[in-house]
């Protein structure tokens, strides 16, 4: 069984992050749905982790994913998605959030680096202004073009 001790609520995570930052550890934050984890996600998370000492992944809750992606999503529930993410060596912490965007998480955690996919322009990245105002940086990671969750779902539906 995978150790889910890396899946924390916001209060506990905030306390740990404050301690890590006091010890000069660079905190990296990213977020997403991470439904049907695939090689593109793994490459993205590995790249995100290379930007600092600790990688925190904000995971959209099932309700949040449905609001963003529509009915029928997520395919994999939040408990299983968080467990899989926590099992990756590059992920230090996972926090599930119910809001449509991670602005509250970013405000509370005050990461040093905010990472999103290169498909987002920096002006559209939620929290970019906050992170930069606190002296942090925003990094846009190139995506793996040949794979996405949506492509996997379309392929499965086509082959039925």
What pLDDT is attached to residue 3? 62
- Rounded to two decimals, the pTM is 0.93
Q: List 59's β-bridge partners, or say none.
A: 32, 96
Among 159, 160, 156, 158, smallest CA distance to 35 is for 156
Is 118 within 8 Å of 79 (Cβ atoms)? no
Q: Determine how many CB atoms are found less than 10 A away from the CB of residue 113.
A: 19
Q: Determine how many CB atoms are found less than 10 A away from the CB of residue 146.
A: 8
Domain-embedded: residue 4: no
Domain-embedded: residue 42: yes
Give Cα separations from 83 to 13, 18, 75, 86 (angstroms): 16, 24, 15, 5
CATH code, domain with 136: 3.40.50.620
Is 57 within 8 Å of 45 (Cβ atoms)? yes
Domain-embedded: residue 91: yes
Q: Which of 16-20, 79-83, 84-88, 140-144 has the lowest mean pLDDT?
A: 140-144
What pLDDT is attached to residue 155? 86
What pLDDT is attached to residue 154? 84
Domain-embedded: residue 5: no
How many domains is the chain partitioned into structurally? Answer: 1
What pLDDT is attached to residue 28? 98
Query: Which structural domain range is residue 112 located in?
Result: 10-158
Domain-embedded: residue 24: yes
Is 87 within 8 Å of 57 (Cβ atoms)? no
Summary mean pLDDT of the chain: 94
Domain-embedded: residue 57: yes
What are 71-129's pLDDT values in tens digits? 999 999 999 999 999 999 999 999 999 998 999 999 999 999 999 999 999 999 999 99
What pLDDT is attached to residue 149? 82
Residue 146 has pLDDT above 90, yes or no: no
What are 31-65's pLDDT values in tens digits? 999 999 999 999 999 999 999 999 999 999 999 99
């Amino acid at each position: 069984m995978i150790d889910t001790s890396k899946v924390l609520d916001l209060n506990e995570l905030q306390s740990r992050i404050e301690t890590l930052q006091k010890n000069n550890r660079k905190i990296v934050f990213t977020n997403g749905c991470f439904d049907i984890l695939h090689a593109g996600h793994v490459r993205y998370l590995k790249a995100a982790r290379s930007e600092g000492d600790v990688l925190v992944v904000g995971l959209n809750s099932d309700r949040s994913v449905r609001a963003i992606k529509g009915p029928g999503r997520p395919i994999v529930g939040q408990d299983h998605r968080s467990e899989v993410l926590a099992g990756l060596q590059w992920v230090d912490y996972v926090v599930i959030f119910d809001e449509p965007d991670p602005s509250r998480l970013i405000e509370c955690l005050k990461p040093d680096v905010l990472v999103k996919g290169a498909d987002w322009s920096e002006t559209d990245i939620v929290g970019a202004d906050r992170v930069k105002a606190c002296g942090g940086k925003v990094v846009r990671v190139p995506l793996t073009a040949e794979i996405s969750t949506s492509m996997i779902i379309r392929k499965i539906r086509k082959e039925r």
